[in-house]
Amino acid sequence: MTTPTTSLRRTLGTFRLLVFGLTYLGIGAVFTVYGSGVAATDGHLPAAYLVATVAMLFTAHSYGRMAVRYPAAGSAYTYAQQSFGGYAGFLTGWALLLDYLLLPLINFLLVGIYLHEQFPALPRDVMMLSALLVVLGLNVLGLTVAIRLNLILVGAGALLTVLFVVLSIRYTTTNSGPVNVFGGFVPNGGAGPIFAGASVLALSFLGFDAVSTLAEEARRPKRDVPRAIVLTVLVGGLFFIAVAWAGSIVFPDWHAITNLEAAGFSLMGRVGGAALVSAFLVINVVGSVLCGTAAQVSTARVLYAMGRDGILPRPLAYLHPRFRTPVVAACTVAVVSLVGLLLDLNTAMEIVNFGALAAFSMVNLALLRSFLGDRAARSPRRWITHAVAPGVGFVLTVWLWTSLSWLTFLVGLCWLTVGAAVLAARTRLFTRRPPMLDLSETETLETTVPQQK
């Protein structure tokens, strides 16, 4: 039996995992991208988000099925490793790290930008470093503290979103008459802008996959993790669609928004005045801190899994003796986030997309591979859930790749080249098999942890 200091603590049920996923996703993210999104879709942002939600549900399904098969920390790294071998697993995990390592950085940058914009006397870099230290502290203390704060944030974000939608309907009926229920959904000049916008907006869902990294901290990982993954995409997508629709009735002509970069403040100001704008600012700052916490939690778990396997330095698998959290991995993520002092927000966001889509592609292929390798389980239903669905998810992910910039591909390919060099060094020029994930520890944990009634 494993000792208390060598295993993660199982405390999370479906609801807490969902809260974690929604925090990572960021319900308020739609306000951040509203201006660029409405311009890209020519005013059809609700329809584009609807298409993007459907597209991402296929990949969420693949993550959920693979989490049932391999209830271990490591996410796409674990799934690719078990399905295609250690080499593919390492390169997938390496690509995933590019996504995960930069996601906390993006949230720290947002905190600095928001506060410096509102209070110019506060230096952006100082605010960013302050957020980084707060997030590191929350990660060392463990998920219980972070999840409780996440619950408050998700509740506040959901309340703000519902309030915005209600006030938008009130504003429209008072000033413009009956609400156009289908405003923003029906294309008036072809569906091209809708699908083009969806290929970019689908990246707003980055983070739902992070739920799978907590499989070793879920009470019933084979049930709770798949449900939470799919629900994160579904609930998040519904919030995105609702906000996009409300914005379309408040500003039926999106050209009337004078500053697209601050479109969220324009929307809040029009329907709720200064009070709603202030609430929006507070929730965005706090949300960025907690979203950074969720991002760092997931990244630390991926580093923990790869360190435990010996494919990365083993100290990354060290757990704090009291809190049982991967403290060395968390500190590593915090150090990497210092790169944010040298990057701007747009550059960081572009680079993140490469690792995320690479991981999405491999998870869809991993589910398809596991199905084709198990002839005894090829029922008509499983053909749909384990072959057709991941196949569609893979095609849609490849479609999303077409929206990436040349800079994203350049940085991503350089990152993979470095990863291949590390793998070559660890396997003595590929003459040794890379370490494989030992699932026996996970199975033992699952049978010894009391189940939630």
pLDDT, tens digit (0-9, with 9 covering 90-100), for 360-372: 889 999 999 888 8
| pLDDT score of 128 more than 60 | yes
pLDDT tens-digit series, residues 88-124: 888 887 887 787 778 788 888 878 877 876 788 888 8
Average pLDDT for residues 38-64, to the nearest whole number? 89
- Across the chain, mean pLDDT equals 79
Tokens 């915005």 belong to residue: 164
* Alpha-carbon span 213 to 85, nearest angstrom: 19
Residue 365 lies in a domain: no
Residue 83 lies in a domain: no
pTM score of the predicted model: 0.75
Range of the domain at 244: 14-70+100-344
CA 420 distance to own-chain centroid: 25
Closest CA to 168 of 81, 243, 73: 243
Tokens 């939690």 belong to residue: 297
Average pLDDT for residues 56-64, to the nearest whole number? 91
- Say what percent of the chain tops pLDDT 90: 12
Q: How many domains does the chain have?
A: 1
pLDDT tens-digit series, residues 262-281: 788 889 989 998 888 888 88
Phi, psi of 188 (to 5 degrees): -115, 0
Quote the pLDDT of residue 189: 66
* Alpha-carbon span 421 to 400, nearest angstrom: 28
Residue 165 lies in a domain: yes
Residue 249 lies in a domain: yes
Report the CATH number that the domain containing residue 307 is assigned in CATH: 1.20.1740.10
pLDDT tens-digit series, residues 22-50: 877 777 778 877 887 888 888 889 998 99
What is the residue-wise DSSP string for 221-232?
A: HHHHHHHHHHHH
Quote the pLDDT of residue 437: 52
CA 5 vs CA 167, 305, 371: distances in Å: 51, 15, 36
Residue 293 lies in a domain: yes
Residue 217 lies in a domain: yes
pLDDT tens-digit series, residues 137-146: 877 776 566 6
Tokens encoding 172: 């429209």
3-class DSSP state of 74: coil
Residue 173 lies in a domain: yes
| pLDDT score of 14 more than 80 | yes
| pLDDT score of 422 more than 70 | yes
pLDDT tens-digit series, residues 281-340: 888 888 778 777 777 777 787 788 778 877 778 888 888 777 777 888 888 888 888 876
335, 105 in Cβ contact below 8 A?
no
Average pLDDT for residues 3-22, to the nearest whole number? 71
